[in-house]
Structure 1
Amino acid sequence: MTISIETIATSEAPAAIGPYSQAVRAGQMLWTSGQIPLTADGRLVEGGIEEQTHQVFRNLQAILKEAGASWKDVVKVTVFLKDMDQFAVVNEIYASYFGDHKPARSTVEAARLPKDVLIEIELTAILHN
């Protein structure tokens, strides 16, 4: 059995800043790279955890859309936080994007994230196309 592997890229999310892809599709599965709060043109979002979290979700939404997926196709999310004391704020924003859909999730406090951001999120989704 051969599974095709496809790189997913969109100009609606920041370009990869290293030797990786925004996302990879293998068969019906999609894995995103960790998204940090960069705008599509590569600028770091100003502001605190709320602004940064919304930007990360905008980036993930753009990648999902490019792959032909939506939030309801997400099966696993990993959230990396600089400060676990910000979990409640992030959780509320997270719920606003997923609604009634509740994928599996892990949340980890990280000593340091790329570009010293406050949050990074990666996800896995099942594609139906």
Structure 2
Amino acid sequence: MKRQLVNPGPTQALYDALHFSQATRVGDMIWVSGQVGIDPITMKPAVGMEAQARLAFDNVRTVLEAAGASLDDIAELTTYHTDLRGDMPVFGRVKDAFLTERYPSWTAVGVPQLALPEVLVEIRVVAVVGSGSRADSGRRDRSPAR
């Protein structure tokens, strides 16, 4: 299997300047680099947790689609927060608007700072192309019965 670099549209400039891809795909696996609430065109951070989280999830969706996947294919979600406890209720509502069923595993980490002082949250995901099939979405808990 070959490694495919994924850098949609205007993100190519980040690859050229900072030497990292927005995502890497190997087979059906996709590792998405941390996405933040910065507009990819203007390079300006959104104001507030809700706006940044929405923009960061929009950026995740754009990268996944460029790699041939969707938000439904996310298997693992890792989020980094500069105010983990204070922003979690707002972030949780935004997350649930983007990831509406078949929730992935999720780790939330509090950090003292991110790439820019205005950035409040960073979202990193691992996805498996085609794994988000809704065929078995009726049963959310797939653990064995006891």
TM-score by length of 1: 0.90
Moved more, 100-109 or 14-23: 14-23
- Give 4+ residue runs of structure 1 displaced > 2 Å after superposition: 12-17
Rounded to whole Å, the distance in 2 between the matches of 1:65 and 1:4 is 19
- Any unmatched runs of 5+ in structure 1? none
Rounded to whole Å, the distance in 2 between the matches of 1:12 and 1:104 is 30
Rounded to whole Å, the distance in 2 between the matches of 1:121 and 1:25 is 17
Aligned length: 126
1:87 alignment partner in structure 2: 88
Cα 1:118/1:42, change in 2 over 3 Å: same
Rounded to whole Å, the distance in 2 between the matches of 1:103 and 1:115 is 27
1:124 alignment partner in structure 2: 126
RMSD value, Cα: 1.6
2:7–2:22 CA contact under 8 A, matched in 1:
yes
Corresponding letter in the other structure for 1:121:
I
| Map 1:101-112 → 2, pairs under 5 A | 101-112=102-113
1:100 alignment partner in structure 2: 101
Q: Does 2:91 correspond to 1:70?
A: no
- Any unmatched runs of 5+ in structure 2? 131-146
Percent identity between matched residues is 26
Shift of 1:46: 3.2
Q: Does 2:9 correspond to 1:11?
A: yes
Shift of 1:37: 1.3
